Structure 1
Amino acid sequence: MRTVIILIAIISSFSYLNAQEPDKTALILIDIQDFYFEGGAVELVNAQVAGEQAQMLLQLFRDMGLLVVHVKHKASKGSDINKVVWPLENEKVIEKTEVNAFIGTDLKEYLDAHQIEHIVMAGMQTHMCLEAGVRAAADFGYKVSVVEDACATRDLSYNGVVIPAEQVHFSTLSTLRSYAHIMKQEVFREKFLN
């Protein structure tokens, strides 16, 4: 029974992506900033790999002429967007001070002005700003997809228990399935282009 439910979810994800109008789709890259990469103040596990996956996703959207939004958390040291996904002049950059990119910014107004209905999200950290953005976008009524291998997080600890980054990442994605279609970039790319 569980296999059947998973298969139905996968099939509906594919049909959902195929039904999207590309010009109503935007890519939002969340907090892919220097402080999360090697040598930064808050190094994430596999930040470089996730950044490179995000770069490929970004290039796909650029090649298709689709809307791209970069979100960055306003901070002092190391807050630049990482060179792996450095914004072009015509790409919107939103600075936020909250975990949720929609709070205190013009993100929703910008998306609505471009008649966006489907948001593709990737970024850092999976369990914080990415998760908050995904939940908010879904609550606003957008269809949301998350490219899981273009996201990264870190080990967490609570009450003396260390939770490895991989478990943090996958448990977050597991809960986000109620809000978004979750898939690897290769699968997303194949379905989005067909």
Structure 2
Amino acid sequence: MEIVRNAALLVVDVQKGFEESGFWGPRNNPGADENIGALIDVWQGTGRPVVFVRHDSVRPESPLRPGQEGNDFKEYVAERRGRGAGGELLVTKTVNSAFFGTPDLDAWLRTEGVGQLVVAGIQTNMCVETTARMGGNLGYDVVVAYDATYTFDLAGPFGWHMGAEEVARASAVSLHGGGFARVVLTNEVVDAAR
């Protein structure tokens, strides 16, 4: 796998509010945070651009709404912001896709000459997947670091219920099999980016 010199890392919604298990329910992949941190470190250490995305929920019951501690980035992300040698951008959004945030992510990426995106963060099947799909639709070469994401159990129609691991796998199959993104493991990305 090739990770180009100016590939952008999109760190999606790694916020304290996702630690509220009473709100979200059971999650998968307890190693995701360590993998997200490793990706940020490699990107910053190699001077590549990093985009930090924050979800500012408009739902009054959400732990991610502005003004609540849950809206803040997790500590390991907050500590890394501003430390890289490459470009850095903060995007805030109220919907699933980072491409519908402020400032305009697509415009910034194109100004920076970025054509490849590596996506990591929370939730695999929500904001990570939606951002990856839109990136693919916009013509970017999108890579999703699967084990640098996580999600939660989910209820659907007809009384259907899926566990977090099954939800994450379905998301990965849809992204990869549908040609929206290459879904890989963090160590593959790290090795290629060094």
Range class of TM-score, shorter chain = 0.7 to 0.9
Runs of 4+ aligned residues of structure 1 deviating over 6 Å after TM superposition are none
Q: Does 1:94 align with 2:83?
A: no
| Highest RCO, 1 vs 2 (Cα 8 Å, sep ≥ 6) | 2
1:146 alignment partner in structure 2? 144
**Aligned mates of 2:51, 2:141 — CA distance in 1:** 16
**Aligned mates of 1:184, 1:144 — CA distance in 2:** 13
Give 1:157 deviation, angstroms: 1.1
TM-score (norm 1): 0.83
Alpha carbons of structure 1 residues 40 and 110: separation in structure 2 relative to 1, 3 Å: farther
Give 1:187 deviation, angstroms: 1.6
Summarize the alignment of residues 38-187 of structure 1 with structure 2, pairs less than 5 Å apart.
Answer: 38=20, 41-42=23-24, 45-46=27-28, 48-74=30-56, 75-76=65-66, 77=68, 78-86=70-78, 87-89=80-82, 91-105=88-102, 106-158=104-156, 159-177=158-176, 178-187=179-188
What is the percentage of aligned positions where both structures have the same residue? 30
Check the 8 A contact 2:28/2:164 in 1, yes or no. Answer: no
Alpha carbons of structure 1 residues 27 and 130: separation in structure 2 relative to 1, 3 Å: same
**Aligned mates of 1:55, 1:46 — CA distance in 2:** 17
TM-score (norm 2): 0.83
Match for 2:167: what amino acid?
Answer: V
Q: Please give the per-residue CA displacement for 1:4-25, whole angstroms capped at 9, x wherever unaligned.
A: xxxxxxxxxx2xx1xx5312x1
**Aligned mates of 2:108, 2:91 — CA distance in 1:** 10
